Amino acid sequence: MIVALIIACEVGFWALLALALAVRYLLRWRRTSVVLLLCEPVLELVLFVVTAIDLKNGAEPSWEHGLAALYIGFTVGYGHYMIRWLDGHAAHRLAGGPKPVGPPKYGMARARHEGALWLRTVVAAGVALALLQAAVWYVGDDGNVASLRSFQWATLRGAGIHGLVALAYTIWPKKAPEGERETEGEKERAGVR
């Protein structure tokens, strides 16, 4: 049941986002699109409540509950970033706005970008770890919480690996090919990210 709800929340996230962007750029109803975007967190709240009720009703903690915590954490950490990214592309495609500038490809600008993404991962992992720990305490000593603990360790490992990748971009920044170096340097000096 929890997996089906996670899938429904993911489908609902994209459907609400598509509807909000269509209303914003095709119908020009900005306030309505904001209201639709503000409904996005309700999906995660529903998933959280249903997961808590499932555990309260005596369900054995399983990978499904861990996956729900990871999903909520990811949405908290990366949801706004994804919405902003898609909003820029929708403005370009549907409303004739400027083409969105992609992330930097080279040098310390790329390292800063990777570091910022890693911070989002830390936020996502922190939320997931807090929810998983709350579930462990909620179930108490009577239940088998091994699957929840394994998701906690997987979350820590994932954040750690992402941190190492971001650190690698800082220690060994990717160099631009000869023809692109001047352009990238100009962008970096101009503050384009």
pLDDT at 1: 80
Domains of the chain: total: 1
Token pair for 85: 């990214």
Can you tell me the distance from the alpha carbon of 175 to that of 188, in angstroms, rounded to the nearest whole number? 13
Q: Is the pLDDT of residue 94 over 80?
A: yes
> What global pTM score does this model have?
0.84
Residue 168 has pLDDT above 50, yes or no: yes
CA distance 105 to 187: 11
Contact assessment for residue 152 and residue 132, using Cβ atoms and an 8 Å cutoff: yes
Residue 76 confidence (pLDDT): 94
Average confidence score pLDDT of the chain: 89
- Residue 128 near residue 102 (C-beta atoms within 8 A): no
Residue 53: domain span? 2-190
Q: What is d(CA 145, CA 143) in angstroms, rounded to the nearest whole number?
A: 6
- Using pLDDT thresholds of 50, 70 and 90, give the confidence band for residue 181: low
Q: Is the predicted pLDDT of residue 2 greater than 90, yes or no?
A: no
pLDDT surpassing 80 at residue 59: yes
Per DSSP, 172 falls in state S
Give yes or no for residue 193 having a pLDDT over 50.
no
